[in-house]
Structure 1
Amino acid sequence: MQSAPPPAFPRPAVPEAILRELGRTEGGPDALALLVRDQYTRRLILLRALLDAAEAAPAAICPPHARERLRTDWALLEAAERADRAAARAVLLYPLTGPWAERCLRSLTARPHSAYRGELRLELAADLAHFGALAATAAIRARLPFTGRLTAHDGLLVLPTLGALRTGAARGDLAGVEITYHDSNLTLRQTDTAPVTVQPGPDGAWSADPRWLPVLTLPPLRAGAMSVPVDDLHPYRTAGSGLERHGLSGVSRLDDGERAAWAQSWAQVEPLLRIGGAHRPAETAALLHCLVPLSRPPGSAPTGEGAAHCSGTRREAFGAVLSSQPATPAFLASTLVHELQHTKLAALAALAPMHHEDATPRHFAPWRSDPRPFDGLLQGAYSHLALADYWQRFALGAERLSHRDHAWAEHARCREQVGAVLPVLAGSGELTPEGRVLVNEMIAVYHRLADSPPPAGHLARAGAYVRTARMIWRQRNGT
């Protein structure tokens, strides 16, 4: 069986003014709204492609009862959108819906029919059943009364953005759960057990029953923004992310101390972002839809800084930042600045390709020990340029000497790192016209940063850092 072609997405033009804004690692309301709107359209097309693939799949892969269940769930999702479009949209655009949908679509189209035996068939059944939880969450968010039956997997029934019911089933087992939502009350019932009553609200859902596990939800960063779940429950939060190759993993469950630490850092992050310019809290409010907590890297100290910290994004999970717990609010702020640049650039590249370079990993990047493909080099330079700008603004506004000194050191390192790779980006003959505008704006920002240089000692150390990184890279990679 041949793999189905990927869904065809429209490619609307990006106005040059918006392209230039984003090239400066900024982006006003119109630019951010364009990215979000396009990603929402893509999410809807992806879901439609998933349902079409299920309808077209042989009965051995997607049995008739599974197809009928998907139709029922889709109907509930449509009813929720009619009841409250914004509420349903928030669930569909929730970042972790993306990895789940792409996983389902791959499973329905990419493997030969003969591969679907035993565990693979059970895995696909569990994946498709998650659509019911998605539709139910949309209906709850839209305050639409309904009754249905959902499927728990690995002992949990997860309602994205709300929480999860602990079913007690063994790992790998599927368990049915009756769900009723009426008069703002949610009732979950398993056979031969007492029902669990849950009170959904705008910022999650709560229950006195210990079988219900709530999602930690951080308050909106500013008026009119969305609250931000710290999602340690979603079954697809790290699935297919490749974290395991780097010895990393998602947190299995935040304890009370960790939840308090995330909340305390978040409470102080907005003014720290604002130090880096008014556009930093604005882009965070517009683009950050969830945080996925990661375990600290192996062998790291408990401080959460430097090598003890890890973070990342996923192209298929627009709006999610994966991060281990930062030690300080300032470290959380810089992590958000860094990672949301990847979010912006990936979304922009989906609208207008930036280059036609191949994916061969061959380029030196001072922030990595391995060769990088051209796209990875562009992504890294873009995010580090934003950090150089952020830390310069931080240094110029800091009152305490220790804060100022740290900020100048970070700024100098990031700017030197970007300067080491900009000639490669600018010299590429494979940049598209949009990519050329983007890189030219990046170069302009790089030179503008030189108008307020750091103390000479920081410049010297940053230069030595990059030269040493290049020498080690050449020795390690034989070039």
Structure 2
Amino acid sequence: MITNPYTGSWAGYTTRLLRNGTGGVGPLWIHLGHAHAIAAAAAIRAELDFEARVPMWHGDTILPSLGMACFPATEPFSVATVRGVGGRYFVSAAETTVRLPSNPGADGPGWRSIRRVRSQAGSRRFTLWLDDLDPYRGLYEPIPPDRIPGKDFAKWQLLIDEACRLIAVHLPGLARIMPVGLVSLVPKPPELFRNPSASTGEAFGSAVVGLPTDGAALAATLIHEFQHITLGGLLHLVELSEPDPRERIYVAWRDDPRPISGALQGVYAFFGVTAFWRALARAGLDSRRAEFEFAYWRRQTWHTLRALRADPVLTDAGRRFLDGVAERLGPWQDETVSTEAKELAAAACRDHLAGWRARHLRPDPATVAEVAEAWLSGRSRPPVTADETGLPPTPVPDGSWSHARMDLIRLTVGAATPPLSPDEQRAVPDATAADFAYVRGNFREAIEGYRAELAVDPDRPTSLSGLGLALSARGPHPAARALLHRPELVRAVHRHLRGTTPRPPAVERLASWMGQLVPG
């Protein structure tokens, strides 16, 4: 029972309530009393005779790692009695008794089991709990049970089988150790075009995972979370960086700046994801998709790793850790992929970074005013300060960001017969006609579309970077350089001009002028 992931999350949550003297979800005695439920579950597994009083949440009594006895709820929080007599076990409350099945892993009258999925790929065996009952399975605080229907459980079984087979065949070294470090999944509903997942160091061995679209997506997610879990265990033993909560580092897997601790976690997690897609690409499986994902993640993970290796708050252990990752990840940057995968990955990388810069970097107001004055005075070139770098980011975003272009790219590389069908186009949230044109390769139409979007809203980050991408796709262009490499300054100067002159220039015209000083 000590190794149950949710024993750790329960202990962490309850300890914080005691230490901070704050209220939580439900009364404190419920959380303290959960220790009785853990003991009762251990006694059942040991086949002991016993009797214990355990907490009951809204009529539900959890026995961790086994299941839940369900009663009519008469009050939010109360107590039930668990008894073991001669190998038979009962939970009683409100003059009702639920008898546990002889196999607690099966459902029965008044009893919901914590279901388990077993998969085998060659000689490798994988066992994963799908825990939709334990109140401490959430990341931050207790959550109510949320039983997934049988048809969804069957989907999970099929996808887990496929994911485990892919990992066992293509990353056999990882397959040997994953069953030790990943033992439980908390299933969540699917999210369109997303593979949401999360884990916490307190619930070692567990991950919250949304229902994916296919086995490859699930395999990448399981590897991602296993890497987090592994690094979380290492961090209990050694510090990789000095404490530094500043949100200051660009990472491709988030739209906001991250502290160094989060960036380190992400590098290790996406190093594993990169290895998975590399293995599939080398095997020729789902080649367009695998090559794109490999090309994208190797580049983005390497970008962040290089920035972290120079960070002064790293410890010696942290530098050795990143050096070890770099020994593997570095040579992958030169491995051959298709021209399509390389170009799409490079564009997607530039797109996300430009959007991040536009939303999270704030140019010096004096620089903005100087550049605006140079424009208004008719100078042929902007002042050299227009190319300044090293701006500190802010975690507060200036504007929203859309993932529609990346979603469309992934639909394209995953399609058997490109280009995108009309139905697929309409299914992508927030995608515009310009986005469709860009991903289809109709760059002239995309340019006109983004120009029209900026005429309506010159501040829209997605349109700024979209115009930069479409212009650069047709060849070197000063406006593209400015929009992709200094979008925050272009936007700030254009805002300044809109507030000081009745006829401000079009964003593209200003960007072309400013792009004279921006390297490609």
Superposed displacement of residue 251, structure 1 = 7.3
Contact kept? 2:291, 2:341, Cα under 8 Å:
yes
When residues 251 and 165 of structure 1 are mapped into structure 2, their CA distance, relative to the original with a 3 A threshold, is: closer
Superposed displacement of residue 127, structure 1 = 0.9
Q: Which runs of 4+ in 1 moved over 3 A?
A: 220-227
- Aligned 1:46-125 pairs, distance under 5 A: 91-111=1-21, 123-125=27-29
The equivalent position to 2:347 in structure 1, one of 451, 455, 464, is 464
1:143 equivalent to 2:43? Answer no
Superposed displacement of residue 275, structure 1 = 3.5
Matching residue's letter, 1:254: I
Superposed displacement of residue 200, structure 1 = 4.9
- Hey, what does 2:66 align to over in structure 1? 162
Q: Give per-residue Cα distances to partners, 1:151-203, cap 9 Å, x unaligned.
A: 212220011111101121146231x322222333212222422x2221354xx
- Highest relative contact order (Cα 8 Å, sep 6+), 1 or 2? 1
CA RMSD of aligned residues (A): 2.3
- Hey, what does 2:288 align to over in structure 1? 405
When residues 357 and 459 of structure 1 are mapped into structure 2, their CA distance, relative to the original with a 3 A threshold, is: farther
Alignment partners' CA distance in 2, 1:121 and 1:407: 43
Q: What's the TM-score, normalizing by structure 1? A: 0.71
- Hey, what does 1:387 align to over in structure 2? 273
The SS at the match of 2:265 is helix
- Hey, what does 2:444 align to over in structure 1? none
The equivalent position to 1:476 in structure 2, one of 341, 348, 359, is 359
- Hey, what does 1:285 align to over in structure 2? 179
1:338 equivalent to 2:228? Answer no
**Consecutive unaligned residues in structure 1, runs of 5 or more:** 1-90, 243-248, 301-305
1:232 equivalent to 2:115? Answer no
Contact kept? 2:30, 2:77, Cα under 8 Å:
no
Matching residue's letter, 1:235: P
- Hey, what does 1:45 align to over in structure 2? none
Alignment partners' CA distance in 2, 1:220 and 1:275: 13
The equivalent position to 1:196 in structure 2, one of 98, 105, 119, is 98
- Hey, what does 1:72 align to over in structure 2? none
**Consecutive unaligned residues in structure 2, runs of 5 or more:** 363-520
The SS at the match of 1:180 is strand
- Aligned 1:174-213 pairs, distance under 5 A: 174=78, 176-193=79-96, 195-201=97-103, 204-209=104-109, 211-213=110-112
Alignment partners' CA distance in 1, 2:26 and 2:207: 30
- Hey, what does 2:318 align to over in structure 1? 435
330-339 vs 288-297, which moves further: 288-297
| Aligned residue pairs, count | 361
- Hey, what does 1:18 align to over in structure 2? none
Contact kept? 1:188, 1:197, Cα under 8 Å:
yes
Alignment partners' CA distance in 2, 1:250 and 1:434: 40
When residues 444 and 434 of structure 1 are mapped into structure 2, their CA distance, relative to the original with a 3 A threshold, is: same
Q: What's the TM-score, normalizing by structure 2? A: 0.65
Alignment partners' CA distance in 2, 1:177 and 1:434: 49
Contact kept? 2:295, 2:341, Cα under 8 Å:
yes
Alignment partners' CA distance in 1, 2:339 and 2:145: 42
Identical-pair percentage: 26
Matching residue's letter, 1:237: R
Higher-Rg structure is: 2
Alignment partners' CA distance in 2, 1:441 and 1:337: 18
